């Protein structure tokens, strides 16, 4: 049995890794094409473009791992069936349950890999990649502190205490310096909304510092032209889906203490815990195809079916997350339902194969 386990592990894991590399190469190529549009902006040269694509790869690995496991397992089982290896295993006394348990060990390895990549590598690499790109293309440097978001915008330093999901800024403080870093003026606004190519600030108080005195002006509205744009804020602020489970848990507690809504972050936290288990579910879903498909079926058919099922799973995941947020469903229900549906489908197909 140990020899069989090693053989299945080697064959299936090799095919899963090959499929994953193919998917990562495809997504990285798309990233490269997209980033070439920004080539030459500021100091964003070809080396930094390639570095950005490389740093973005772990995020793609995390996203495509269940799909790679599904396609790799389906292809491997198809090859076993084509060469009558599955029949030999069954004749040798191995039940469908024995074969399934051996394959689930492979799924467990990729489950652990997915969890570790999502927890340790992706949050850091995504943050480094996005901030490196922003620094190179727009000369904007930002950092989060307890006082809010701090951004260097040319000769100004900007502090935003809160950013709403629609990119509306609350409690904005703009400190303008000259080239010798002498403070020239400060602007304090209660809120700001982006319109066309500028920010519209409301309830603005401007303090100008002269050599002899200071002067304060107040206005209901003011225009603020800045390199800071909503799309920059979206990448500067870490999205819940890109945060680690540990940071999500800590942030949920922080929001709860301050009596703020935590639904979105709770859904992201549950998804972080459940998503790696999709690798096991995909193995269960792939096993029946090794027994029901015909020997003369081509590899392209298996790969196509696997990719379609994987895409369907990703779509269901996104749909249930958004439906859960809209309808205020339980975070656990929103995160686990697609995985449960695919697990039930896989178990039903296994039962059908066993009864044949």
Of 226, 255, 275, the residue that ends a domain is: 226
| pLDDT single digits (tens) 174-199 | 999 888 888 889 999 999 999 888 89
Residues 243 and 261 in one domain: yes
- Counting Cβ atoms within 10 Å, is residue 331 exposed (0-12), middle (13-18) or buried (19+)? buried
The whole-number pLDDT of residue 81 equals 77
In a domain, 231, yes or no: no
Confidence label for 351 from pLDDT (cuts 50, 70 and 90): confident
User: Going along 122-237, which residue ranges are E strands?
Assistant: 140-145, 148-153, 156-163, 169-177, 183-195, 198-209, 214-224
In a domain, 232, yes or no: no
Look up tokens 């390639």; give the residue: 50
Residues 198 and 222 in one domain: yes
* Cα dihedral value 86, 90, 95, 100, nearest 10: -10
Tell me how far apart the alpha carbons of residues 174 and 83 are, in angstroms, rounded to a whole number: 70
* Cα dihedral value 337, 339, 344, 349, nearest 10: 150
Full-model pTM = 0.75
Residues 272 and 183 in one domain: no
What does the DSSP assignment read for 99-121?
Answer: HHHHHHHHHHHHHHHHHHIIIII
Task: Provide the residue range defining the domain that includes 65.
Answer: 2-137+237-355
Q: Is the pLDDT reported for residue 295 higher than 70? A: no
User: Encoding tokens for residue 236?
Assistant: 């500067």
* Cα dihedral value 210, 215, 217, 223, nearest 10: 10
Tell me how far apart the alpha carbons of residues 83 and 243 are, in angstroms, rounded to a whole number: 45
Confidence label for 238 from pLDDT (cuts 50, 70 and 90): low
Residues 6+ apart with CB under 8 A from 320: 334, 335, 337, 338
Residues 131 and 274 in one domain: yes
Q: Is the pLDDT reported for residue 294 higher than 70? A: no
- Counting Cβ atoms within 10 Å, is residue 192 exposed (0-12), middle (13-18) or buried (19+)? buried
In a domain, 186, yes or no: yes
Look up tokens 């489908």; give the residue: 345
Look up tokens 């090794």; give the residue: 290
Residues 146 and 290 in one domain: no
Of 174, 197, 226, the residue that ends a domain is: 226
What b/e sequence results for 157-169 when a residue is b if at least 16 CB atoms lie within 10 Å of its CB, and e otherwise?
Answer: bbbbeebeeebeb
In a domain, 157, yes or no: yes
Residues 75 and 101 in one domain: yes
In a domain, 159, yes or no: yes
Question: Between residues 295 and 72, which one has the greater pLDDT?
Answer: 72
Confidence label for 138 from pLDDT (cuts 50, 70 and 90): low
Q: Which among 266, 268, 258, 186 is positioned nearest to 224, based on CA atoms?
A: 186
Q: Are 273 and 245 in contact (CB under 8 A)?
A: yes
Confidence label for 278 from pLDDT (cuts 50, 70 and 90): very high
Q: Count structural domains, the chain.
A: 2
């Amino acid at each position: 049995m140990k020899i069989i386990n090693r053989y299945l592990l080697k064959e299936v894991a090799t095919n899963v890794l090959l499929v994953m590399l193919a998917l990562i190469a495809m997504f990285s190529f798309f990233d490269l094409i997209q980033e070439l549009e920004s080539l030459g902006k500021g100091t964003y040269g070809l080396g930094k473009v390639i570095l950005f694509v490389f740093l973005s790869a772990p995020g793609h690995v995390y996203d495509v791992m269940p799909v790679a496991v599904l396609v790799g397992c389906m292809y491997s089982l198809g090859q076993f069936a084509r060469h009558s290896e599955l029949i030999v295993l069954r004749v040798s006394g191995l039940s469908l349950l024995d074969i399934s348990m051996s394959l689930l060990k492979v799924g467990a390895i990729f489950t652990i890999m997915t969890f570790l990549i999502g927890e340790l590598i992706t949050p850091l690499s995504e943050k480094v990649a996005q901030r490196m790109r922003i620094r190179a293309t727009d000369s904007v440097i930002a950092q989060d502190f307890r006082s809010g978001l701090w951004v260097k915008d040319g000769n100004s330093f900007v502090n935003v205490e809160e950013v709403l999901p629609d990119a509306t800024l609350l409690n904005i403080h703009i400190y303008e310096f000259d080239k010798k870093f002498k403070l020239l003026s400060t602007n304090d606004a209660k809120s700001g909304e982006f319109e066309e190519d500028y920010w519209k600030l409301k309830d603005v108080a401007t303090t100008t510092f002269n050599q002899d005195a200071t002067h304060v002006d107040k206005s209901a509205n003011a225009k603020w032209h800045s390199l800071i744009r909503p799309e920059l804020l979206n990448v500067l602020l870490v999205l819940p889906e890109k945060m680690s489970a540990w940071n999500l848990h800590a942030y949920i507690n922080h929001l709860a203490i301050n009596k703020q809504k935590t639904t979105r972050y709770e859904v992201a936290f549950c998804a972080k815990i459940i998503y790696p288990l999709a690798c096991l579910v995909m193995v269960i879903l792939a096993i029946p195809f090794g027994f029901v498909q015909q020997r003369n079926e081509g590899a392209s058919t298996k790969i196509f079916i696997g990719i379609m099922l994987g895409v369907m799973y990703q779509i269901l995941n996104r749909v249930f997350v958004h439906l859960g947020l809209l309808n205020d469903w339980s975070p656990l229900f929103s995160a686990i339902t697609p995985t449960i549906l695919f697990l039930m489908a896989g178990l039903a197909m296994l039962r059908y194969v066993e009864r044949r």
